[in-house]
Structure 1
Amino acid sequence: MPVHELRIYTINRGMMDAWLACFQKDVAPLSKQFGIPIVASWTNTDRTEFIWVRTFADEDDRKRRTESLYGSSAWEQMKDRVRSHIAKTEVRAVEPTSFSPLK
């Protein structure tokens, strides 16, 4: 069964535009490189939180791909820059309901 990650980042005050640029330039391409599709992303209406969803075939796939990504030299080179935008991170692994349009 597919597993999705709902990721909610509280972005440091005044850094949302810089974060969005960093996400587009660095985070999204790296996720794609490691075979981790990003299926949606949003900001809250206050522009203090960035919410996104990535998807995996199952829990084993999630573990394997995330370990590979976070163990890579590419992540090592960018992680401080990426993390400098983020005040708080929440990650929830979720599974779709039988009636969810997102499977």
Structure 2
Amino acid sequence: MKTIQLRRYTLVDGEYDAFVAWWESTMPKVRPAAGFAIEFAYGLRESNEFVWAVSAEGDQEAFLALEATYLASPGRAAAFEGVPQRVAGYDIRFADFVASA
């Protein structure tokens, strides 16, 4: 069993390219090192949005415990050190599996 968290960000105007470049160079290293898998990531340039999903083995409680450890980790702190705020708003929720193609 794995738990998937869907993360939808509205980016600060003018920061789309900088955010995507930072995300591509950082998250595929930091999240897996913390025990997560990145399921997908998509940018929606026209609406200045970035949508991605991250997963972890276990139920939501296990995911939240792993996330708490990640949020307090030196690796995450280093990933965000000196990075300006590029996310104006976000919607983060757990997703239910429905079907695969």
TM-score, normalised to structure 2's length?
0.85
1:63 aligns with 2:64: yes
Contact kept, 8 Å, 2:4 with 2:55, in 1: the verdict is yes
Listed one character per residue, the Cα deviations across residues 69-99 of structure 1 (whole Å, up to 9, x for unaligned) are 10112222333545611101110111202xx
Residues 1:73 and 1:52: Cα distance change in structure 2 (over 3 Å): same
Output the CA distance in 1 between the equivalents of 2:54 and 2:83: 17
- Once residues 82 and 89 of structure 1 are traced to their aligned partners in structure 2, the CA distance between those partners, rounded to angstroms, is 17
Measured after TM superposition, the shift of residue 33 of structure 1 is 0.6
Superposition RMSD in Å: 1.9
Write out per-residue CA displacement over residues 23-82 of structure 1, whole angstroms, 9 at most, x where no aligned residue.
012222110111110011111251500000111222133112211110112222333545
Distance in 2, Cα, partners of 1:41 & 1:48: 14
Q: CA, structure 1 residues 38+81, in 2 after alignment: closer, same or farther (shift >3 Å)?
A: farther
Deviation at 1:7, TM superposition (A): 0.2
- Aligned residues, how many? 100
1:11 aligns with 2:11: yes
CA contact (8 A) 2:40 2:52 kept: yes
SS at match of 2:46: coil
Determine helix, strand or coil for the equivalent of 2:31.
helix
More strand per residue: 2
Unmatched tracts of structure 2, length 5 or more:
none
| 2:44 maps to amino acid | N
Percent sequence identity is 19
Letter in 1 for 2:27: V
TM superposition score normalised by structure 1: 0.84
